Amino acid sequence: MGTEWWDVEELDELPVLLELIKVKKTYVIGKRKLEVIRDVSFKMYDGEFIAILGPSGCGKSTLLRIIAGLEKPTSGQILFMNKPIEGISPRIAMVFQSPALLPWLTALENVSLVLEARGMDKKTSMEIARRYLSLVGLAGFENSYPRELSGGMKQRVSIARALAVSPQLLLLDEAFSQLDPLTAESLRSEILDLWRMGVAGIRGIILVTHAVDEAVFMTDRIIVLSSRPTTVVKEVVIDLPRPRNRRSKRFLEILDEVYEYIS
């Protein structure tokens, strides 16, 4: 039958892009069981940029990997546009914690590879890859190898790669945590710019982070997770206009509020 995202029942709200229902994850390592995610449910609306915030090791990456289809939840369901996710969805792209660039391919080839994997011919995929590289400010570095790029540039290639496949949902796993503060800050504002301009038809972004400040600065809503085994502690809506001022009273208030939930 298949319902489409626009004919949702609750019309009092925006259409739901992604919904997690009672997601649980327990790893079994030999005889030991490691309960990582106890119970996580939340909704994400169309056009939203949300953050998943939690202490290190609480299972944020695991949750994101489940959403990306890289891992199966032990129980629970994930609906993307009201349909259960089965395996990898071509409409969801992920930027990993490490850039995960193949050292034997140039920046351009790293991006075009994922397009070729989707059946695009070599020439077109090269063209598109070039476009996205220049979008993230890497024009002129197409033929550089990852080892010749700085940490920030590598992460940019990784972002270009995710954007190039025109995803509807973009997942960022601590995309800025391994960068120096200045590079991280400029990459943050670039992501926000891309988001505002509505590049590549992205309809939602999930940013996983353990940095409260980053979450409040960038996103519309924060899902605060407890430490392991993780549950949702609180959802905090950030009703600040963009660009945001980190010194504003309201910003600091929200920051304090979130810090309270996390500790």
Ligand X SMILES: Nc1ncnc2c1ncn2[C@@H]1O[C@H](COP(=O)(O)OP(=O)(O)O)[C@@H](O)[C@H]1O
d(CA 20, CA 195): 23
> Which one of other proteins, Mg ion, ligand X, none interacts with residue 203, CB within 5 to 8 A by kind?
none
| C-alpha closest to that of 64 among 47, 85, 35, 33 | 85
- Neighbour-count burial for 156-165, b at 16+ CB within 10 Å, e otherwise: bbbbbbbbbb
Q: Which does 195 bind (CB under 5 to 8 A by kind): Mg ion, other proteins, ligand X, none?
A: none
Query: x-or-dash pattern for Mg ion, window 27-66, by CB under 5 A?
Result: ----------------------------------x-----
Which amino acid would we find at residue 129? A
For the purposes of burial, counting CB atoms within 10 Å of the CB of 143, is it exposed (0-12), middle (13-18) or buried (19 or more)?
Answer: exposed
**In the complex, residue closest to ligand X by CB:** 61
Residues in region 52-111 near other proteins by CB under 8 A: 65, 68-70, 88, 90, 93-94, 96, 98, 100, 102-105
Question: Whole-number minimum distance, CB 112 to Mg ion, in Å?
Answer: 28
Residue 125 touching ligand X (CB under 6 A): no
- Closest contact distance (angstroms) between CB of 146 and other proteins is 7
Using CA atoms of 73, 60, 237, 50 in order, give the dihedral in degrees to the nearest 10: -80
Can you give the binding site for ligand X, defined by CB under 6 A? 27, 29, 34, 36, 54, 56-62
